[in-house]
Structure 1
Amino acid sequence: MTNTIGETAPPAATDPLATADQPTPTAASAALPTASPARWWSRLVHDPALPPVPRIPRWWSLHGVGSWFAVVFFTWSMTPSLLPRPWYLQAVATGICVALGYGVGTTVAAGLRKLGFSPDWSARARRWGWIALVILIVIEVPTALVLGARWQTITRELVAMPGGDGWLWVLILPLSALVAVGLIAFGRLVIWVGKRVARFGSRFIPALPAKIVGASVAIVLTVILVQDGVLAGVLAVGGNMAAATDRLEVDGVDQPDAPERSGSPASPVAWEDLGRNGRAFVADGPTAADLEAFNGEPALTPIRAYAGLGSASDVHDIAAIVVAELERTGAFDRAVLAVSTSTGSGWVNESTTMALEYLYNGDTAVAGMQYSFLPSPLAFIADRETPQDAGQELFDAVYDVWSDLPADDRPQLVVFGESLGSYGGQSAFSGADDMVARSDGALWIGTPNFAEPWGRITNRRDAGSPERLPVVDDGEHVRFADSSDDLEGLGAWEAPRVVYLQHATDPIVWWSPDLLLRQPDWLKEDLSPTVNPEMNWFPFVTFWQVTVDMVFSIDTPDGYGHNYELGTIDAWAAILEPDGWTADDTARLRDWVTADAAS
C-alpha cells in the first residue's frame, strides 16, 4: 500500500515509520521477550537491529487514506448548523475540516500499520484506489456545494435573514483549498521538526527514545508558538485597539445633566473615566417624560450608577465606587434595584435596562461596572477570572448594604447579565437556591456554555426535559425560555423567579469543546423548529461549524442567534409582575420600543 505518492509502504513486520532502504529487524529481535518488563525495555531501546529514525518524506506527497478522509470531512462541513454562514466563513470552516479529516485519516492509517493491520496492496490496487478517489471527488464535491447552498437558504429562512451569497458560493472551493493546504503544511512542518530532532538525537540515544523526544519537542514548540506568539500578539494588538476605542467619544452620546446618573456634574465619578460603553449606558435610556408618555402617570428619572476602569485600580474598589453612587442617588429608596454584570468591554444591554425602567415607570436603579477594555471573546481568552471577580464583587458590595436595611423598607433586589456578563454575574451565586435566597429575581441572557451554575442547573433537569429548554423542579423557581411562550405551561411559579433566556440558534450558548468528540444532548433530541432539521453532529466538524457561527451571531434578527431585545420585556414582566401590569401592557411596550427603535 502506498502512503505517499511515489513511495511504497514498508512491510508490516518493520517499523511503520521506517523507509524501504532501511534495515529490517531480525525475527529474533522482532519477537516480544517473555522476560521481566525491565529486560524487555532494555532490549527494546538497545537492540541494534531496531531501525533508525526514518528520513523525511517529500513535502508534496499525499497520503491515500488521509485524502479519502478529507473528502468525507469536506462533505460533512457543507451540512447546516445553527446559523447561516456567508461564503467566506463557510470556506474557512470547510478548509479547517478538510485539514482535520486529512490528519485523522493519516493518524488512523499509521495506527493500523503500527498494529500490523495494514495490508500490502499491489501497485494495481493502489492505482485503482486513487482513480476511485478522483471519481468520488468529481461527483461528491459539486453535489455537496449545491446541497450546502440549498441548506444555507433554508437556514436563512428559519432565522428570518434575507438574501444569500448567490454565485459567490462557488468561491468556497478555492478558498477552502488554500486554508486546508496551509494547515496541512503547518502540520507537516511540526512533524518535520519532530523528525529532525529525532534524527539528531538518534546519534546519541536509541531510536525509540529519540522519537519520543522529537515528538515532545515539536509539540512543546507548537504550543509556545501559538500561546506565546500568535495569541499573545492578538491580545496585545487587540488590547491596544480596545483601549484606544474605549477613550473615543461617540457621536450623540453627551454627558448627562441629571444627578441620577454617574458622570453627571453632580457625580464625583468623572465622565471621561466611565469608558466608551459606560458613557453610553448613563447617557442613554428613557427620560421621565418618555415614561410618563407611555404609562400615563408621573414618572421618576431612572437611576443608572456606573464606574469604569479609569475610576479605580481593581474591581473591588470599582464596585465600592458604584455602591457610593447608589447611595448618593438614593437608589436604595427605589422600588427595584438591579445589579448588572457587563460584558468584557463594559457593555450593558440597553434593551434589558430600558424594559425594567418602563415596567416600573422609572422607580428603578441599575448598577454596572467595567472590568476590561477587551471585547468579550478576547476578554475570555486573556482572563477568565476577572469577569467572575467583577460579578461577585459588585453583587456582594450592593448586597451588604441592601441586607442591612429593614426587610419591609428596601427595594426588590434583582440581578441580570448577558453573554460574558451572565458568566460573570452568576459567579456571585453557588446555585439556583442561592439566587432564590439572596435576590428577588434574576435574568440571565445568552449564557455561555462554560458558565456555572448554569451547567449544573441544566444537568440536573427533570427527566424527559430537553437540554435546550430544561425543566428544573417542575419550574418552581427557575425557567428556561427561547420565547415568551416557554415561560408558561409548567407548575406553579413561585417567587423569587429566575429566567434563563437562550435561543436554540445561539451558538454562544451551545458552543463547547466537547463538540469535538461527543454528541451533545441537544443534538440527540428533537431540534427546535428554528433549527435546520438537516443539522447533525459529526466529530470534529460540528465543533468548527458552531465556532464559525459565533462570528456573526449578533447580526441576526431579534429572537435568533445571540440577539436578545424584546424578549427581555416578557422576562422582566414574568419575574417581577408589577402591580396592575397585564399581558396587554407587555404587548404595548413591545410595540412602543419597536416604534422608538425604528424612529
Structure 2
Amino acid sequence: MIATTDTFGRAPRAGTAHTPTTTSPPPPPPRGIRVPRIGTSVALTAAVMVSSAPSLLPRPAVTQALFTGVVMAGALAVVWSARRVVGPRPPGRLRPRAWSVGVGTLIAIDSLYTNTLWQNRLRIAMDVDTVGWGYAVDVAGGAACVTLALCGLGRLATTILGALGVGRSLVLIAIAGLLSYAVAAPAVRSAVSDSLSASNSASDDAVTAPHGSARSGAPDSLVPWNTLGREGRKFATGGVDPETVRTYVGLDSAPTLEERVELAVADMERAGAFGRNVVVVAIPTGSGWVDENAVSGAENRFGGDVATVAMQYSNKPSWATFLFAENDARRSANALVRAVAARAARESTPPSVVVYGQSLGAVAGSDAYLSLRQSNRIICGAVWAGPPAGAVNTEGATVLANSSDPVVQWSADLLWSPPNTTSSPRDAPTPMWLPIVSFVQTSVDLAAALDVDAGHGHRYGTGQGTSMPWCR
C-alpha cells in the first residue's frame, strides 16, 4: 500500500480520503442570436432617422444607401469609443434589450418609408420619375452592406494596431502621414492639375470656330480659337444670333492677368462691343463656365443690342477654386470690370455695364460691383444667381436663388440657425430646419446640386438674363 502525503509533506489522517482542490470551468458562452445592447440600438436608430430626414433634392437609392451606411457606421464607432472610455459594463437584461431592438426597428422602417414619400414629393415638383417601395428596400440593403464593410475595415485596423502596440502604431501613422504629405499629395495634385489642363485644352469636334466678326475665336479675332479652352469655345459659339457680341479670353490666351484683361478689351473694341447699348461682364465659375441660359436671356432681353465679355481665371472646379484660389477669382473679376467700365466711359454715348455671376462668379464679382457702383454711373446693376450663403454682398443687386439650391443655404450657421429663404422663390417642398441634421443633409445635397433641370437646385434658367436691369 502506498502512503500519500499532502502539499506540506504530511500524511492524511485515518478515515479521510484525499481529494485534490480543483477550479470549476467557466460556463460556456450562451448560444443563439446575440441581442444588441440598448446603447447600440439607440445609436443605430438615431443614425437611420438622421440620414432619412428630408433633403432639398431627390437622391438615387445608391446615394441614400451610402449616406445611411456611413452614418450608421459612425454611430457604431461612437458607441464603441464610449465603451472603451467608460470601461466594460454588463450588457443588461435580455427583455429591455429586445424591446429596444424591436422599437428601434419599427422607427427605422417608418423613417425609410417617410423618406420615400418625401422623395416622391420632390420628384413630382421637379418633374422627375417617382420611386416605389423598392427604393426603401434598396436603401436598407445597401446601407447594411456599407455598414458591415466599414465596421469590418475598422475591426481589421484596430486588430493590426493592437498587434503592433501603441508605440509602433504611432510611428507607423506618423510615417504614413509624412509620406502622404511629401509624396502622395504632390503627385495627386500634379496629376489632377495635368488632367484638368488637358481637359480644358481638349477640343470638341462638334464645336467649330465662329465665322462672324462679333465672336472671339473668329478668323479676324485677336483671341486665337485654340486658346479659348473648352468652356470658352462653347461660349463663343452659343446663341441664336451670331451678330451678338461675345468676347472670351482663356487662360492660355495670354500669360498674365494684365495681358488677358488688355486682350479682352482690345477684342471687344474690334468686335464693336462698346457701340452696343448694354455690355454684360460675365464672371465665370471656377472652370471658366458661363451659363448659356444667362447669356441667351440677356440677348433676348436687350433685343441683341448687347455685348457679353468673360475671362477665365481657373480651370479647376468651382469648389476647389473657392477653397484654394478664391483671391484669384476676385482679382480677375475686379480687373476686368474696372477695365471694361473705364473703356466704356470713353464713348460719346457710353453703354450701360451690367455685372453678372453665378455661384463662385457671384462671389468674385460682388467686390468689384460694390466698389464701383457708387462712383461710376456706367455700372448699371448686377445679377447674382445661386450665390453661396454669406459669401456675397447682395446690396443693390438682383439675386436669383432657388429654394432647393443647397449652395445658397449651406453655411456653418446652418448648424444652429435656420437659413434665410425670404428672397428664394419656392420651387419645391422645403424641409423643416433641424439643428445639425439640416447641415448634414444640405452638405450631402451639394454633391447633386447640378443634377437637376433649370429652375431647381443650382440650375438657373434664362431668367438670369431677362432679369438684368435696363437703365435707359
Provide TM-score, normalisation by structure 2: 0.79
Within-5 A mapping of 1:65-144 = 65=39, 67-105=41-79, 113=86, 122-125=90-93, 127-144=94-111
Separation of aligned partners in 2, 1:185 and 1:229: 28
Please state if 1:567 is matched with 2:463.
yes
> What is the alpha-carbon distance in structure 1 between the residues aligned to residue 143 and residue 184 of structure 2?
21
In structure 2, how many angstroms separate the alpha carbons of the residues matched to 1:278 and 1:376? 16
**AA at the equivalent of 2:355:** V
Q: Which residue of 1 aligns with 2:33?
A: none
Structure 2: how far apart are the matches of 1:367 and 1:402? 13
Q: Kindly tell me: are residues 235 and 552 of structure 1, through their superposed partners in 2, closer, same or farther at Cα, counting changes over 3 Å?
A: farther
TM-fit CA distance, 1:453: 2.7
State the alpha-carbon separation in 1 of the partners of residues 443 and 227 from structure 2: 34
Task: Kindly state the Cα deviation for residue 271 of structure 1 after the two structures are TM-superposed.
Answer: 0.6
Q: CA separation in 1, counterparts of 2:462 and 2:385?
A: 12
Which of 1 and 2 has greater Rg? 2
Provide the residue aligned with 2:211 in structure 1.
Answer: 257
Give the C-alpha shift of residue 531 in structure 1. Answer: 4.3
- The alpha carbon displacement at 1:366 in A equals 1.1
SS of residue paired to 1:313: coil
Please point out which of 341, 351, 354 is paired with 1:399: 341
Is the contact between residue 331 and residue 365 of structure 1 (CA under 8 Å) also seen in structure 2?
A: yes
1:149 CA displacement = 0.9
- Residue 292 (structure 2) aligns with: 350
Q: What is the match of residue 24 of structure 2?
A: none
| SS state at 2:279 partner | strand
Instruction: Report whether the alignment pairs 1:426 with 2:359.
Output: no
How many corresponding residue pairs? Answer: 436
Contact 1:97 1:544 in 2 (8 A): no
Name 2:470's counterpart in structure 1.
Answer: 576
Equivalent residue letter for 1:281 = F
| The one of 413, 416, 429 aligned to 1:532 | 429
Deviations, residues 421-452 of structure 1 (Å, cap 9, x unaligned): 212222424x4x75454421101111122523
Report the identity percentage. Answer: 28
Q: CA deviation at 1:570?
A: 3.8
Work out whether residues 304 and 365 of structure 1, in 8 Å CA contact, stay in contact via their aligned partners in 2: yes
The answer (yes or no) to whether the contact 1:305–1:366 under 8 Å persists in 2 is yes
CA-to-aligned-CA distance 1:462-486 (integer Å, 9 cap, x gap): xxxxxxxxxxxxxxxx3xxxxxxxx
Task: Go from structure 1 to structure 2 and tell me whether the alpha carbon gap of 1:316 and 1:543 turns closer, same or farther (over 3 Å shift).
Answer: farther
1:235-384 matches, cutoff 5 A? 235-287=189-241, 301-384=243-326
1:80-107, Cα deviation, whole Å (9 max, x unpaired): 1111111111112212322333345556
When residues 263 and 529 of structure 1 are mapped into structure 2, their CA distance, relative to the original with a 3 A threshold, is closer
Alpha-carbon deviation of 1:350?
Answer: 1.4
Query: Does 1:500 pair with 2:399?
Result: yes
Greater alpha carbon shift after TM alignment, 351-360 vs 548-557:
548-557
In 2, the alpha carbon distance for the partners of 1:228 and 1:532 equals 47
Contact 2:56/2:431 (8 A) holds in 1:
no
Q: Normalising by the residue count of structure 1, what TM-score does the alignment of the two structures yield?
A: 0.64
1:160: Cα distance to partner?
Answer: 3.0
Any idea what the Cα deviations from partners look like across 1:256-305, whole Å, max 9, x if unmatched?
A: 111221111111211111111101111122326xxxxxxxxxxxx22111
Give the whole-Å Cα distance in 2 for the aligned partners of 1:442 and 1:527: 17
1:153, CA displacement in angstroms?
0.6
1:172 paired residue among 128, 139, 152: 139
Question: In the alignment, what sits opposite 1:206?
Answer: none
Q: CA deviation at 1:394?
A: 1.8
Aligned to 1:552: 448
Distance 1:188 1:228 in 2: 29
Contact 2:313 2:328 in 1 (8 A): yes
Q: Report the secondary structure of 1:442's partner residue.
A: strand
CA deviation after TM superposition for structure 1 residue 502, in Å: 0.6
Show structure 1 runs of 5+ residues with no match: 1-61, 202-212, 289-300, 458-477, 479-497, 579-599
